Structure 1
Amino acid sequence: MIETEKRVREAVRYLGFGKNEADERTLELIQQSFKDLEQEAGPKSICQIFDLNHTDDGRLVIGQMEIRSKSLSRNLKGCRQVVLFGATLGAGVDRLMRRISLTDMARAVILQSCAAAMLEEYCDECQKKIAAELEEEHLYLRPRFSPGYGDFDICYQEPVVRMLNCAKTIGLTLTDSFMMTPTKSVTAVIGISTQKDRCPISGCEVCTKKDCEYRR
């Protein structure tokens, strides 16, 4: 029940209600949307650990990928390895959203928000599993950091997808403008640290430590 309430709250947040409560009809549509999504979703994920090098001129080097991003550099301060991560809810969710958008735009908007909440929930679950394995080696994860956050340019979707071979492993591809297909998908860089900084898996959006040096 707690998890169900949590995902409903997340969907309401994505809908932009802020601190206001959603009306009964909206809540009913949210519940129905999650039921529809559960039937259509085929979540898959892929991850791989890479060494991370910090260059003197401020670049981050992960395999053959070189990144210039002050916000990502702050997040990865002190890390010598990273997890490259990709996840998707699958093509069935896209088909469902297209079908609903043809007949009921209000419901389609709610479905989009519920799918975003479901994807975030799935990514959190994946990260918990990765974290549990690494903690056996006394290594700890930073929050996920995706292309498009801060000054971490969205163009870095391409090397992450390529390095993880996402097209073959989870069916995730990119358009020429670096948008993901299926649309309810995500890529991310997750720092691996020897220091347990108590960063929440769900990231900076839920963390109250506004002065954190790793904050996005």
Structure 2
Amino acid sequence: MDDMTKEAIRYLGYGKHAVDERTLALISDSFRNLEETAGRKSIYRIFDFNQTADDEFTIGTSAIQSSSLGRNLKGCRKVILFGATLGAGVDRLITRASVTDMAGAVVLQACAAALLEEYCDRCQTEIGMEMEKEGLHLRPRFSPGYGDFDIRFQAPLIQMLNCAKTIGLTMTDSYMMTPTKSVTAVIGASDTAEKCHIKGCEVCEKKDCIYRR
């Protein structure tokens, strides 16, 4: 069983329970359909990082207050603002499935989430290789909505990345992203290499880590 299948199963909430053959077949079909439909796009920009207090800092022209993000970025010299999407075609695929096959739509949702996460991991690896040329090492990405990093900060991130023009990503008045299978995130870059798993805190067993989201 490959990693993306395992990730989709995790999103489906199976935990340690065995997955039946029908669900595995649905997952396989879903990934095949998603690969044919997804229009992956990403964008990132690098900013100097100015932290004025444990929970207060400035990225570009945006003043942000968040204790949990502040812990994640402590000691960083730079921050990367990152945006990624699977495109509107994936939304349409899920919408069509929800009309005719609700079980299939649920599996599609989980597989799309796994596909987006895998794409973000690949993008972050590539960004990390570029930053290492400057002697900098990446922290786990941290998105609005994690901890006390308010979902409202989605708006300045999207604006600073010019996401509407660069990758076709916009946001509703209620801070929901369109297309829905999209991500924005802040990624810290410091002189010190921390042993952070690229997939972030969800897969890390170090519960007392100061960078934990």
Cα distance in 2 between the residues matched to 1:41 and 1:96: 10
SS where residue 198 of structure 2 aligns? coil
Question: Could you say which residue in structure 2 is the equivalent of 1:197?
Answer: 194
Aligned pair 1:93/2:86, yes or no?
Answer: no
Contact 2:83–2:163 under 8 Å retained in 1: yes
Question: Could you say which residue in structure 1 is the equivalent of 2:183?
Answer: 186
For 2:159, which of 149, 159, 162 is the aligned residue? Answer: 162
After TM superposition, the score normalised by the length of structure 1 is 0.97
Task: Report the alpha carbon displacement of residue 137 of structure 1 after superposing the two structures with TM.
Answer: 1.7
Question: Could you say which residue in structure 2 is the equivalent of 1:36?
Answer: 33
Question: Could you say which residue in structure 2 is the equivalent of 1:48?
Answer: 45
Identity across the alignment (%): 67
Cα distance in 2 between the residues matched to 1:30 and 1:58: 41
Question: May I ask how many residue pairs the two structures share in their alignment?
Answer: 213
Cα distance in 2 between the residues matched to 1:214 and 1:57: 12
Cα distance in 2 between the residues matched to 1:113 and 1:209: 26
User: Residue type of the partner of 2:198?
Assistant: I
User: Residue type of the partner of 2:160?
Assistant: M
For 2:138, which of 133, 136, 141 is the aligned residue? Answer: 141
After TM superposition, the score normalised by the length of structure 2 is 0.98
Contact 2:143–2:183 under 8 Å retained in 1: yes
Task: Report the alpha carbon displacement of residue 22 of structure 1 after superposing the two structures with TM.
Answer: 1.0
CA displacement 1:31-51 (0-9 Å, x = unmatched): 000000000000000000011
Change (3 A) 1:36 1:163: same
Unaligned ranges ≥5, structure 2: none
Task: Report the alpha carbon displacement of residue 57 of structure 1 after superposing the two structures with TM.
Answer: 7.3
Change (3 A) 1:56 1:107: closer
Cα distance in 2 between the residues matched to 1:146 and 1:56: 20
Cα distance in 2 between the residues matched to 1:58 and 1:17: 36
CA displacement 1:55-109 (0-9 Å, x = unmatched): 1473111011111110000000001210000000000000100111110001000
How do 1:121-140 and structure 2 match up within 5 A?
121-140=118-137
User: Residue type of the partner of 2:106?
Assistant: V
Contact 2:54–2:70 under 8 Å retained in 1: no
Question: Could you say which residue in structure 1 is the equivalent of 2:70?
Answer: 73
Aligned pair 1:208/2:202, yes or no?
Answer: no
Task: Report the alpha carbon displacement of residue 175 of structure 1 after superposing the two structures with TM.
Answer: 0.2
SS where residue 168 of structure 1 aligns? helix
Q: 4+ runs of 1 displaced by more than 3 Å?
A: none
Task: Report the alpha carbon displacement of residue 20 of structure 1 after superposing the two structures with TM.
Answer: 1.1
User: Residue type of the partner of 1:123?
Assistant: C
Unaligned ranges ≥5, structure 1: none
How do 1:92-111 and structure 2 match up within 5 A?
92-111=89-108
